[in-house]
Amino acid sequence: MSDQLLLQMQGIKKSFVGVEVLHGVDLDLRAGEIHAIVGENGAGKSTLMKTLAGVHMPTEGKILINGEEQTFHHPAAAQAAGVGIVYQEFNLLPERNVAENIFIGREPRKGLIVDAKRMERETQALLDEVGEDSFGPRTPVRWLSVAQQQVVEIIKARSLNAKILVLDEPTAALAEGEVELLFKLVRRLQELGVGILYISHRLREVFALSQRITVIKDGGVVKTLNTAETNQRELVNAMVGRELDGYFPEKGLKEDLGDVRLAVKNLTTPLLKDVTFDVRAGEIVGLAGLQGSGRTEIARAIFGADPITSGTVEIDGKERRFKHPRQAIRAGIGFITEDRKAEGLALAQSIRDNMLLAVRTVIPARKRRSMDGLMGVKELARVTELKAQGPEQEVRFLSGGNQQKVVLSKWLETQPNVMIFDEPTRGIDVGAKAGIHDLIRKLAKDGKAVLMISSELPELIGMSDRILVMHEGKLAGELPAGASEPEIMEYATGSHEEVAA
């Protein structure tokens, strides 16, 4: 490892529509170094990398490469300066072949004509360099496995003569054996003098690969550690290290617990392995785990939005298999989705239309008339303490908290017995959060079974009567109310197994 600083990022700040998401981040990278960046979901890791890649312009701060200040107005400028980035979602064109994907936007020419032969030859050389012989330059990308596509991504960055390579969660989609191959490839690049920023929240990988680790939290750097001088526990503490702030409603009492309303047994889908748990009436069960660990997938499988390979879902003791969310709603499940704006609301429609959307579409008018307990818009607004000008106001003009109350009203009107919340307070300010938390607890008290997914550990700990932790599609553990953040993170990062082993 040389001591020459390949990359320096100094005081990087970034705001989106007035909201600052990066608060002055400092980071550096040496040639031939693997520098890991860890942090919880939403800590700002990806945004930081996008400022380096020229996708976002930093609002403030400097980027220096080999000591020279750089300004990237376009990803092409960052590429030219030697920054290569492999994004979490793959950036390949499935309809084009490997060579065409690698040379996209800078195809070599012979006169007017693209020199396809040369493109293929150079691609072959790149493939040889990393020892990849399971496919060739002319193979269409859509025929490749995820791991093979990743190799293409990496050699694409390499072909740009990238001196700085950013890998954003490179192992998220890989199987066990493929991870080893990736490691080999990364170490090979390291030997070639490439500086690598390795983003991951799998601590095992971070310790296996990196020389230094920077912990990012809430848009700022917590600390940068030498890998050899730290351990998993210290890292986990740095990642979550914050006071439990705010107020949470009182937990449920043992006596209030009713029968099992939702029972999931051996639930298996392409993304889930053998998940078993139940939720009782009056109970709030928190579902923790890192992004991609299968939290949302559980909710979608229960709700009939994704197909189930094997296993059963029981609602109030009856086995049900939903082929479509419509059936799940009729059976009494409400699912408050993560992406409020895209999946939960018709933003340009009125509060009234949004509130009645689910009940109108799923339950026939005839049956609705004879249903007891339908609340109507005014009553819903009162119950959820919605603050709005009136039932005809368009939802997009409401604050995040009030929008979420509209989503909640929509589901309350279908009179569910089981309610699943996916990130119920994301993007909602502190004051409104408490209101949503109170509502969720009240629903549980009314005898509903609540399953709550959240990336915010304080929220999960503050709200849940029990916490289930997911890791790579499996239920890694169950913790009682009041578990600590490091305990949860240990299960969520998979480091629990290793510590125990």
| Closer by beta carbon to other proteins, 85 or else 240 | 85
Stretch that binds other proteins, among 28-36, 131-139, 197-205, 221-229 (CB under 8 A): 131-139
Using CB under 8 A, which of 107, 178, 306, 385 touches other proteins? 107
| Closer by beta carbon to other proteins, 76 or else 371 | 76
Using CB under 8 A, which of 21, 64, 114, 173 touches other proteins? 114
Q: How far is the CB of 93 from other proteins (least distance, A)?
A: 4
Q: How far is the CB of 118 from other proteins (least distance, A)?
A: 13
| Closer by beta carbon to other proteins, 101 or else 171 | 101
Residues in the chain: 501
Are residues 392 and 430 in contact, defined by beta-carbon separation less than 8 angstroms? no
Using CB under 8 A, which of 2, 4, 15, 134 touches other proteins? 134
Stretch that binds other proteins, among 11-19, 29-37, 101-109, 467-475 (CB under 8 A): 101-109
Other CB atoms within 10 A of residue 45 CB: 26
One-character DSSP codes across 457-500: HHHHHHH-SEEEEEETTEEEEEEETT--HHHHHHHHTTHHHHHH
Other CB atoms within 10 A of residue 19 CB: 9
Does residue 360 touch other proteins according to CB under 8 A? no
Tokens encoding 13: 């700040």
- Where are the extended beta strands (E) located within 87-150? 109-110, 113-114
397 phi/psi in degrees, rounded to 5: -85, -5
Among 273, 326, 329, residue whose Cα is nearest residue 298: 273
Report which residue type is found at 364: P
Angle, helices 400-412 vs 376-383, to 10°: value is: 120
N-term to C-term CA, the chain: 32
Tokens encoding 210: 């990196």
| Closer by beta carbon to other proteins, 73 or else 369 | 73
Q: How far is the CB of 307 from other proteins (least distance, A)?
A: 16
Report which residue type is found at 138: R
Tokens encoding 398: 């409401």
By DSSP bridging, strand 113-114 and strand 474-480 are unpaired
| Closer by beta carbon to other proteins, 67 or else 108 | 108
249 phi/psi in degrees, rounded to 5: -65, 160
Q: How far is the CB of 99 from other proteins (least distance, A)?
A: 11
Using CB under 8 A, which of 3, 17, 73, 113 touches other proteins? 113
Write out the binding residues for other proteins, residues 59-98 only, by CB under 8 A.
Answer: 74-76, 78-80, 85, 87, 91-96
Alpha-carbon distance 104 to 98, whole Å? 10
Alpha-carbon distance 304 to 324, whole Å? 5
What would the x/- binding string for other proteins be over residues 144 to 173, using CB under 8 A? ------------x-----------------
What would the x/- binding string for other proteins be over residues 20 to 59, using CB under 8 A? ---------------------------------x-x----
Question: In angstroms, how far is CA 415 from the centroid of its own chain?
Answer: 30
Q: How far is the CB of 300 from other proteins (least distance, A)?
A: 21
Strand ranges across the sheet with 310-315:
272-280, 260-269, 310-315, 318-320
Please give the size of the binding site for other proteins, defined by CB under 8 A: 36
Q: If you search the block for the tokens 């060579």, which residue do you land on?
A: 99
Does residue 117 touch other proteins according to CB under 8 A? no
| Closer by beta carbon to other proteins, 49 or else 203 | 49
Does residue 106 touch other proteins according to CB under 8 A? yes
| Closer by beta carbon to other proteins, 142 or else 184 | 142
Stretch that binds other proteins, among 109-117, 192-200, 217-225, 379-387 (CB under 8 A): 109-117
Does residue 178 touch other proteins according to CB under 8 A? no
Are residues 164 and 194 in contact, defined by beta-carbon separation less than 8 angstroms? yes
Q: How far is the CB of 106 from other proteins (least distance, A)?
A: 7
| Closer by beta carbon to other proteins, 80 or else 260 | 80
Using CB under 8 A, which of 139, 145, 211, 399 touches other proteins? 139
Q: How far is the CB of 305 from other proteins (least distance, A)?
A: 20
How crowded is the C-beta side of 298, counted as CA atoms within 13 Å? 35
Does residue 104 touch other proteins according to CB under 8 A? yes
| Residues at the interface with other proteins (CB under 8 A) | 53, 55, 74-76, 78-80, 85, 87, 91-96, 100, 104-107, 109, 112-114, 116, 133-136, 138-140, 142-143, 156
